[in-house]
Structure 1
């Protein structure tokens, strides 16, 4: 038997296992720390090594090789690893991954490693998996909030910020992990065989063009996302408004007894979640689902909470389905939602002044997310642009041109957006921000937006692009926008929270 096939538990003998870890970000360090604790021979290979993490590697007994990673370091060849742990950002055709494939060295991601080690603290937690092009973090947080309100020990983790490897080692233990998974992580998740993940329930919220430059094609991106449903035990939750997610469920090899549960904003069928007369309802997890439904919460109640934007309502329905699959009562869902708020930079109202609302949706890092954000508002001055990641922006501009008062294009390369507006909105007033100094991008964008906006308009930062061409993250981009808005408006903003909630 292959030694790796015996390593399916924290209590297996990992001592001396030769492991290479690619990358020293949050995920890479968590993998190195975990494996060093197990007694493995750990070599970390990274192009960048933050000083604090590099020092900690010495403390835990792991070795570090810094390299530009354009070729295989001699130290890696000398170690001859038995398994290679790839951090999520490593492209499938990266030279080190191609070398591992040629040498017959298995490649794992942090998710497979964590699944094999999930029994460190008490009874292993169940895993609920969440992926999709957009809405992952909100849905994970919603699901975890609902499960916690029901009294379960729950940890939101994965791509949301807390590595799964850290969650499984928490000494208090958990009943359930709600795991956000990116397509990068799912690329390295095995569909079958030793170490294969067996989720309790799972959802792919939607599928749209994104990360095509990483996966190579839309089909490869979709195939990675579909992995989330493999081996699911209880509920495969899918979006009825997105046929690609239903096909993923149909194609998945699930456990006997697992159910397909649909959700959308329409009237639900007998195994679905949806909306009837302004009420979110469950027609899946009740005995008489063909003749009745369970009320969860009303759209009017969500409006008072600022949670009534259509894409947020969709996320609530998906999270409710996952929580109901775990046995949470409908009344607990209503109580949990009453205390929930969206993350910063997700349709966050910055200010209202002169009947103009300024909204930060910097987290809309692809066209699909920006589309959902734009749909929530009537007349918009749109701040758009950044690193497009190989996706087509043309359809988005064409679809929303009629609702635009004007547009402000940011980003290092503005050519595609400039051409799209010229084709589909030639009369629209469009400004480009070509500031060389990143610190000046948002102040200039805000000033130009103020020139365009009129009473009743929304000035919306929904870039439809990643931020790394000009900013370190979507959060920095959003924060700089918010600071620029507040500085521009001075004391003229309305702090009345009820006046500044977005409308569906």
Structure 2
């Protein structure tokens, strides 16, 4: 058993992530204690009790939701006890051969587009696997936890992992075989404390053996420059320069060795629009570094369908489409959803998590037929709209009942929308102030749309 796991482990958090990594450790003979003040059960102790065990273990493995300033983690660091994340633990164990020959680690991160890009990349590697015999699985924040993928009865050879800034913050030795940084915008500032710290966590993927970056994004370009590397592959909506994957005459093309190589069509990709093409470019660039051929990428993109709550039309009536993009949980994602959407009745609000909205509203004020606001930070949005788009009708529901609030929003939207418009749920904010998650918010929107149409 590799150090520091050979001395035993304290796992911080008894949630899904914590219990999952604890099960993985126990399966390979590592002694585990789970620290959580809000849970009880076999092997679970309080955080105060955990402190008494600092001298008997080699490491604290934290769930991604635990902030760096959590008292247990601060005290562990003060006691010179290493603190790492669950994904970092999985990586170290896998690289040490704890589960057989090490896997290929392909990591996807960024502010937006992670889930779609991860799904596309997994599909590409699965197509390639039909020829190579390697089994690829999407994991991390999409579908299967990394720990579960490692412990799967049928061996997984390629881990296509969607990782958050939280997971990357706690991953100081993670060096993926390939990784992509899609884009960067204000998000999770309440957790990281600043955009600089958030960006620093995301930029860790640029240590990958094969690194890919979204060079249309200024923040990403700046992080690439800081690495000092000249071998990072860029992806762009424009014509690709040497070392880039881009778009030429409606085709995805790669210019990695001095000449353009046709990869796949850039048309008909789900989700529609620039955001979907960017995700396909990113996935294609990573897949090419892993030996995928154009035909693998073509088949994967042709068969890929967008997951729920990411721009699907959930209802159409009276010439109006109702579109659920509940996954747009920050202003950057809402900007992507609004771009190219035409005239909209915009449904927004929730937890802004410290993100600014002025730039978003200024960019899209000309599209707004009306706006319906809900959620804990609705007044921040209302004030910004009053300053920057005073001519736009705005409805605000003060209801904290998730179903009642969405009913009121849908009633207003149905009355405001005209034939040819779109009622667009793109909240620019997280959902946990009122809903169990972004899926529940999207489902409530779809149900309300059906009733009001």
With structure 2 as the length reference, what TM-score do the two structures score?
A: 0.94
**Residue in 2 aligned with 1:215?**
192
The one of 24, 29, 38 aligned to 2:19: 29
Query: Equivalences for 1:107-256 in 2 at 5 Å?
Result: 107-118=83-94, 119-150=97-128, 151=130, 152-190=134-172, 196-230=173-207, 232-233=208-209, 235-252=210-227
Rounded to whole Å, the distance in 2 between the matches of 1:455 and 1:40 is: 62
Report if aligned partners of 1:120, 1:168 keep a CA contact under 8 Å in 2.
Answer: no
CA contact (8 A) 2:10 2:50 kept: no
**Any idea what SS the aligned residue of 1:203 has?**
strand
Post-superposition Cα deviations, 1:193-243, rounded to whole Å, max 9, x if no partner, equal xxx22311111100100011110111001101111122x22x211111113
Partner of 1:278: 250
Matches within 5 A, 1:328-339: 328-339=292-303
CA gap of 1:265–1:253, structure 2 versus 1, over 3 A, is closer
Contact 2:352 2:377 in 1 (8 A): no
Give per-residue Cα distances to partners, 1:109-166, cap 9 Å, x unaligned: 1122101221344321110111100111111110000110122310111122422111
Contact 1:226 1:252 in 2 (8 A): no
CA, structure 1 residues 352+442, in 2 after alignment: closer, same or farther (shift >3 Å)? Answer: same
Structure 1 residues 383 and 464, CA, compared in 2 at 3 Å: closer, same or farther?
same
**Partner Cα separation in structure 1 for residue 37 and residue 389 of structure 2:** 44
Taking structure 1 as reference, are residues 301 and 412 closer, same or farther at Cα in structure 2, changes over 3 Å only?
closer
Give, in whole Å, the separation in 2 of the partners of 1:242 and 1:23: 35
3-state SS of paired residue (1:470): coil
- Compute the RMSD of aligned alpha carbons: 1.8
Which residue pairs with 1:493 in the alignment? none
CA distance in 1, matches of 2:366, 2:225: 38
* Unmatched segments (≥5 aa) in structure 2: none
Aligned to 1:46: 36
Partner residue in 2 for 1:296: 263
Query: Contact conserved, 2:51 with 2:72, CA < 8 A, in 1?
Result: no
Which structure 2 residues correspond to residues 304-323 of structure 1 after superposition, within 5 A?
306-323=270-287
Contact 1:351 1:486 in 2 (8 A): yes
Task: Tell whether 2:346 aligns with 1:382.
Answer: yes
Give the secondary-structure state (helix, strand or coil) at the position aligned to 1:128: strand
User: How far 1:408 sits from its partner (Å)?
Assistant: 0.3
Query: Matched residue of 2:232: which SS?
Result: strand
> How big is the shift at 1:246?
2.8
Cα deviation code 1:382-425 (max 9, x no counterpart): 00000010111121111111111010001023221110010011
Contact 1:20/1:85, CA 8 A, preserved across alignment: yes
Equivalent position to 2:232, from 260, 278, 283: 260
* Shift in Å, 1:251: 3.1
Q: Deviations over 1:325-378 (max 9, x none)?
A: 111111221111111101100001101111111000000000000000000311
Report what 1:501 is aligned to. none
Q: 1:383 touches 1:445 (CA, 8 Å); kept in 2?
A: yes
2:439 and 2:310 map into 1 onto residues whose CA distance is: 10
**1:454-499, CA deviations, whole angstroms, 9 ceiling, x for partnerless residues?**
011010000000001111101110111111111222xxxxxxxxxx
Contact 2:346/2:424 (8 A) holds in 1: yes
Whether the 8 Å CA contact 1:18–1:41 is kept in 2: the answer is: yes
Match of 2:439 among 469, 475, 479: 475
Secondary structure of 1:381's aligned partner: strand
Contact 2:245–2:285 (8 Å) recurs in 1 = yes
Secondary structure, counterpart of 1:156 in structure 2? strand
d(CA) in 2 for partners of 1:370, 1:345: 13
Contact 2:205 2:211 in 1 (8 A): no
Would the aligned equivalents of 2:271 and 2:311 in 1 still touch at CA under 8 Å?
no
Pair 1:7 & 2:6 matched: no
- Could you report, residue by residue, the CA deviation over 1:291-338 in whole angstroms, capped at 9, with x for unpaired residues? x42222334443xxx433111110000000011111111122111111
Count of residues paired in the alignment? 446
Output aligned runs, 1:439-450, within 5 Å.
439-450=403-414
Select the residue among 73, 93, 104 that pairs with 2:48. Answer: 73
Query: Aligned in 2, Cα 1:113/1:38: closer, same or farther, shift over 3 Å?
Result: same
- Give yes or no for the alignment of 1:407 onto 2:383: no
After TM superposition, the runs of 4+ consecutive aligned structure 1 residues lying more than 4 A away are none
Residue matched to 1:373:
337
